[in-house]
Chains A and B, each alone.
Chain A
Amino acid sequence: MNRYRNMRVAGALILLLASAALALYGQPSLEQKWSFMAESVGSGLAERQVYIDPGELLALMNNDYIDLIIYDVRAETDWNWFHLLDSERVDLDKLAAQRDRLLALPENAVVVVVSNDEIAATEAWKRLMALARPNAYILEGGLNHWLNIYGVAGEESGDHGETSLATPDGTLRHPFKLALGERHAATRPDERHAPQRDYTPKVKLLKKITRAGGCG
């Protein structure tokens, strides 16, 4: 009986110490979580499987069967100059607030992260993966690339032309005459009249395994 009692006390002490150590150690930050999963999830990034062509994003924007979420992670100034229709501006350091929403996304949901080029969007994508592993993609070349294709000359100061996508530095390289936000023609071009593009579709809808649990 004494031996049994000693074992119970020892078990209780081990649990108490393990949980106290856990309270001190804490849970991993988003950066740490990304480092844990970089090997398994990061291959899509290295092989550019998560970078989607602007043509594919435009097709997604016009697909009523897709629950599309576009996160724009640029600064508010750039957002005011131009942003995609129905996109949502989220600061990089406030992405964590999206966790519950991302965890509750339906199977037909697709998240696309955009920034001026790919730098901030790639960082945001990593954080999203660490947060909730949504079915997320990055706009290839960013909004500078988008505007190279769908931009309207008359809306920009000077001649509209293809801006160089080399040496990305995170800035918006299309100087608009007016900060019209999503009231520019290029925020959601008409799919039928927009330049047609050949691209390899990369977006795959998640076929989630029905998960349930509980104890009765």
Chain B
Amino acid sequence: MAPFDLQASIGSTGSYLLYLAIGFGFGFILESAGFGDARRLAAQFYFRELRVLKVMFTAIIVAMTLIFWSTALGLLDYNEVWVNPTYLWPGIVGGLIMGAGFIIGGYCPGTSLVSMVTLKLDGTFFFLGLVTGILAFGETVGYFNEFWHSSAMGRFTLPEFLHLETGLVVFLVVCMALAMFIGFEWIRDAVYGKEK
């Protein structure tokens, strides 16, 4: 039953090589999807381009469906899958800061890396800004440590929030994603004209 202990089965070197391959694959898919171009990414916020929404949400709903089908069939122990613990208010503030950085700079951290390795100047500068921000955060987090660790909710996921069966939540999220794809296409066509 997954997840497997990679260190035990293929050793440290094998594990790191596998992580490298997965990272490379992730970056390759991002670049192939056009996520190395800040103009395309920023256009999402004006509803001119929907590929960020579509690629990301498709990845989310495919992964979600596969994870919970694997759990249902006894192939995966979901409890052993890392889920980021929820710190509600710090998460909201962090999300807003990241969103603002995304729309101003045109990248999120991952896509700025993709852009940088394809030698784009804006991506390189965004990445330098990102590193500066990480350093500044690391040096100042002590001043707002109390807020940083506030509203801790532990491993808090949608089924607990909605008090619904996990499978039903998966179905609802898939419906929501598909409805969003259709709805945003409709908005884009209404505002910018039909896609040719």
B77: which A residues are within 8 A, CB to CB?
33, 36-37, 133
B171 interface hit (Cβ, 8 Å): yes
A26: which B residues are within 8 A, CB to CB?
72, 165, 167
Smallest distance from the beta carbon of B131 to chain A beta carbons, Å?
A: 12
Q: A23-B165, A36-B74, A213-B82 are in contact. Are A16 and B178 (CB under 8 A)?
A: yes
Residue from B83, B171, B181 within 8 A of A20 (CB atoms): B171
A-B pairs, 4 with minimum CB distance: A36-B74, A216-B109, A23-B167, A19-B174
Q: Are B72 and A19 in contact (CB under 8 A)?
A: no
A contact face: mostly helix, strand, loop, or mixed:
helix
Q: Are B82 and A22 in contact (CB under 8 A)?
A: no
B168: which A residues are within 8 A, CB to CB?
23
> How many chain-B residues does the 8 Å CB contact rule pick out?
34
Residue from B71, B108, B110, B155 within 8 A of A103 (CB atoms): B155
Per the bound structure, the CA–CA distance linking A104 and B155 in Å amounts to: 8
| Chain A to chain B contacts (Cβ below 8 Å), 15 pairs | A19-B174, A22-B68, A23-B171, A27-B167, A28-B74, A36-B1, A99-B79, A100-B154, A104-B154, A104-B155, A131-B79, A133-B77, A133-B80, A215-B110, A216-B108
B contact face: mostly helix, strand, loop, or mixed:
helix
Which chain A residue lies CB-closest to B113? A216
A213: which B residues are within 8 A, CB to CB?
82-84
Q: Are A16 and B175 in contact (CB under 8 A)?
A: yes
Which chain A residues in 23-77 approach chain B with CB under 8 Å?
Answer: 23-28, 32-33, 35-37, 40
Q: Are A18 and B82 in contact (CB under 8 A)?
A: no
Q: Are B155 and A19 in contact (CB under 8 A)?
A: no
Per the bound structure, the CA–CA distance linking A36 and B68 in Å amounts to: 15
Q: A23-B171, A209-B7 are in contact. Are A28 and B84 (CB under 8 A)?
A: no
A40: which B residues are within 8 A, CB to CB?
1
Which chain A residue lies CB-closest to B75? A36
Per the bound structure, the CA–CA distance linking A12 and B176 in Å amounts to: 12
B65 interface hit (Cβ, 8 Å): yes
B110: which A residues are within 8 A, CB to CB?
215-216
Smallest distance from the beta carbon of A100 to chain B beta carbons, Å?
A: 5
Q: Are A22 and B74 in contact (CB under 8 A)?
A: no
Which chain A residue lies CB-closest to B79? A132
A212 interface hit (Cβ, 8 Å): yes
Which chain A residue lies CB-closest to B7? A209
Q: A27-B165, A131-B79, A212-B82 are in contact. Are A32 and B170 (CB under 8 A)?
A: no
Per the bound structure, the CA–CA distance linking A92 and B128 in Å amounts to: 55
A195 interface hit (Cβ, 8 Å): no
Which chain A residue lies CB-closest to B5? A209
B118: which A residues are within 8 A, CB to CB?
none
